[in-house]
Amino acid sequence: MRAIAAVAALLTLAACGTVTGDAAGVSESTTSSTSPAPTSTTTTTTLPGLRESGIQFTELLTFDRIGEGTEAPVAILFHGGGWYGGDRSSTEPLAQMLADVGWVVINATYRTSAGGFPASVEDAVCATIAGRAVAAEAGGTGPLIVVGHSAGAHIASLVTLAGDQFPPVDCFFDGEWVAPDGFVGLAGPYKIQNLFGLLDDWMGVGQAEDPDLWAAAVPESYVDRHIPVPIRLIHGDADRVANISFSRLLRDELSAIDGRDVELIEIPGGAHSSMLAPLIDAQITVDAMDELAALAASR
């Protein structure tokens, strides 16, 4: 029965890569934003020069760069998919929405079923190092915000709080690690010990066999590192894939550190992927990112 439950949970979490709403994205933002206003609509169909796809950052992995600007803020996006699957198509609508309002966006990925811990986190660290350099070539020299959805939020939280602890071994970019200027976690299941064995294969070992390794794989283990990165957690209270209690717990543990700027934005009736969908709740995500970019720019 436990095996059946674990398989069912895995199938449910694999839906992390599914976006509810306009899966094709939007060509022009219709809501206000504090990001620099673009001089023209940044759509890939009318301005193909604003997109560069398939940029290699490890031997196996590529990412897309979308948008350009002058001293523009930079977003590094990490998709969901239950650790074992998913791809960056799920974050594409949000990436385009951000590019439409002046962000330079790196829509990144990491090894899923072929990865595991710590390899998948190392991939995300490499993508952040490489993304900073590639974004700068397109005018993205402003604050850099890391964003992750679902499993990608878990991985991105480790990148934010402990990126220097996961030096990538297969990275095509040799840049020095620089902590991001902010983190936005979307519907993240951060405390992976509470997933009842679902990630034993991803971790390579069960919890009871190597509790120290499992402890190193959760952001709560790094909350006492006083890294002054503002954090916004966004979670729907009707999420039936990753319960909102995951974000509430991380909020509480991070907030226990004096001076830590952490806020949980709860979306009434919000589903697991609604904050990715431009026609549903993605503007909440964009607003939170704009806020963090403004905070970083004012420092």
- Residue 260 is predicted with a pLDDT of 86
Tell which residue, 170, 173, 146, has the closest CA to residue 158.
146
Q: By the 8 A CB rule, do 60 and 43 touch?
A: no
Tell which residue, 205, 283, 280, 267, has the closest CA to residue 233.
267
- Residue 258 is predicted with a pLDDT of 72
What would the pLDDT profile of 236-274 be if each residue is shown by its tens digit? Answer: 999 999 999 999 999 999 998 877 899 999 999 999 999
**Angstrom distance (rounded) from CA 235 to CA 33:** 21
- Residue 299 is predicted with a pLDDT of 84
- Residue 49 is predicted with a pLDDT of 57
In the chain, the amino acid numbered 38 is: P
Domain hosting residue 143, numbered range: 2-298
- Residue 50 is predicted with a pLDDT of 87
**Angstrom distance (rounded) from CA 173 to CA 145:** 19
- Residue 162 is predicted with a pLDDT of 96
- Residue 27 is predicted with a pLDDT of 27
- Residue 16 is predicted with a pLDDT of 43
What would the pLDDT profile of 254-264 be if each residue is shown by its tens digit? Answer: 998 877 899 99
- Residue 40 is predicted with a pLDDT of 30
**Angstrom distance (rounded) from CA 13 to CA 19:** 13
- Residue 31 is predicted with a pLDDT of 32
Give 55's DSSP letter.
E
CATH number of the domain at 219, please. 3.40.50.1820
Question: pTM of the predicted model, to two decimals?
Answer: 0.85
Residue ranges for the chain with pLDDT beneath 50: 1-48
Number of folded domains that form the chain = 1
List CB contacts of 248: < 8 A, sequence separation 6 or more: 235, 264
- Residue 46 is predicted with a pLDDT of 34
